[in-house]
A and B are shown apart, each in its own frame.
Chain A
Amino acid sequence: MMAYFFHLISFLLVMFVEFGFLHSFTNQFALVPLAICIGIYHVFHLRPYLGLAWLIGFGIVQDLHTVSASGDIIISVVLGVALIYVVEQHITHISLYAAIGTAGAIVFLWTAMRALVVTFFSGAVPVSLWLQESIVASILATITMWILMLGLPRIRSSVAQYIRLSS
Chain B
Amino acid sequence: MRQMQTQWVIRLLLILSVGLVIAVLARTNIVRGFGGRFFGWFERPFTVVGTSSDELGEVFFASREELITELKDREAQVLQLAQTAARWEDDSRMLEQAQRLLSYTESSGETVLAAKVLVRTRSFQNEELLIDKGAFHGISLLDPVITGDGTFFGVVQEVFPQTSRIALVTNAESVVGASLLDQEGTTGIVSGGNGSLVRFGFVPRDTDVAVNDVVITSGIDPGIPRGLVIGLVNSIEEDENAPFLHLFVEPLADLKHVLMVGVIKTPVL
Most buried by A among B19, B39, B42, B49: B19
Q: Is the CB of B15 within 8 A of A19?
A: no
Q: Tally chain B residues at the interface, Cβ within 8 Å.
A: 30
Given A60-B26, A69-B27, A74 and B50 touching (CB < 8 A)? no
Whether A24 sits at the interface, judged by CB under 8 Å, is: yes
Q: Which of A75-83, A91-99, A104-112, A122-130 is near enough to bind chain B?
A: A75-83
Most buried by A among B16, B43, B49: B43
CB-CB under 8 A from A152, the residues of chain B are none
Q: Is the CB of B8 within 8 A of A24?
A: no
CB-CB under 8 A from B44, the residues of chain A are 20
CB-CB under 8 A from A136, the residues of chain B are none
Q: Which residue of A lies closest to B32 (CB)?
A: A64
Query: In whole Å, how far is B61's beta carbon from the nearest beta carbon of chain A?
Result: 9
CB-CB under 8 A from B22, the residues of chain A are 56, 60, 73
| Among candidates B20, B39, B51, B58, residue contacting A24 with C-beta atoms closer than 8 Å | B51
Whether B92 sits at the interface, judged by CB under 8 Å, is: no
Q: Which of A10-18, A35-43, A158-166 is near enough to bind chain B?
A: A10-18
Query: In whole Å, how far is A120's beta carbon from the nearest beta carbon of chain B?
Result: 15
CB-CB under 8 A from B11, the residues of chain A are 81
**Complex Cα–Cα for A23 and B46 (A):** 10
Q: Is the CB of B47 within 8 A of A21?
A: yes
Whether B109 sits at the interface, judged by CB under 8 Å, is: no
Whether A27 sits at the interface, judged by CB under 8 Å, is: yes
**Complex Cα–Cα for A56 and B11 (A):** 15
Whether B210 sits at the interface, judged by CB under 8 Å, is: no
Given A12-B42, A52-B15, A73-B26, A64 and B35 touching (CB < 8 A)? yes
Q: Is the CB of B42 within 8 A of A16?
A: yes
**Complex Cα–Cα for A77 and B160 (A):** 81
CB-CB under 8 A from A25, the residues of chain B are 50, 53-54, 57
Q: Is the CB of A19 within 8 A of B12?
A: no
Q: Mark B1-45, 1 if CB is under 8 A from A, else 0.
A: 000000010011001101110110011000110011001001111
**Complex Cα–Cα for A59 and B20 (A):** 12
Q: Is the CB of B19 within 8 A of A76?
A: yes
Query: In whole Å, how far is A9's beta carbon from the nearest beta carbon of chain B?
Result: 12
Classify the interface of chain B: helix, strand, loop or mixed. Answer: helix
Q: Is the CB of A77 within 8 A of B19?
A: yes
| Among candidates A21, A65, A76, residue contacting B50 with C-beta atoms closer than 8 Å | A21
Q: Is the CB of B54 within 8 A of A63?
A: no
Q: Which residue of A lies closest to B17 (CB)?
A: A77
Q: Is the CB of B15 within 8 A of A21?
A: no
**Complex Cα–Cα for A136 and B53 (A):** 21
Q: Is the CB of B19 within 8 A of A24?
A: no
Whether A167 sits at the interface, judged by CB under 8 Å, is: no
Q: Is the CB of A27 within 8 A of B54?
A: yes
| Among candidates A20, A64, A81, A85, residue contacting B36 with C-beta atoms closer than 8 Å | A64
**Complex Cα–Cα for A144 and B44 (A):** 24
Query: In whole Å, how far is B11's beta carbon from the nearest beta carbon of chain A?
Result: 7
**Complex Cα–Cα for A52 and B14 (A):** 13
Query: In whole Å, how far is B125's beta carbon from the nearest beta carbon of chain A?
Result: 59
**Complex Cα–Cα for A74 and B26 (A):** 11
| Among candidates A63, A74, A80, residue contacting B20 with C-beta atoms closer than 8 Å | A74
**Complex Cα–Cα for A56 and B23 (A):** 10
CB-CB under 8 A from A24, the residues of chain B are 46-47, 50-51, 54
Q: What are 19 A-B pairs with beta-carbon distances under 8 A? A: A15-B39, A20-B49, A21-B47, A21-B50, A23-B47, A24-B46, A26-B54, A27-B54, A60-B26, A63-B27, A64-B26, A64-B35, A64-B36, A71-B23, A74-B20, A74-B23, A78-B16, A81-B15, A85-B8
Q: Which 3 A-B pairs have the closest CB atoms?
A: A20-B46, A24-B50, A20-B43
Besides the known contacts A20-B45, A64-B32, A77-B18, 6 further A-B residue pairs in the complex with CB atoms under 8 A apart: A23-B47, A25-B50, A26-B58, A60-B26, A65-B36, A73-B19
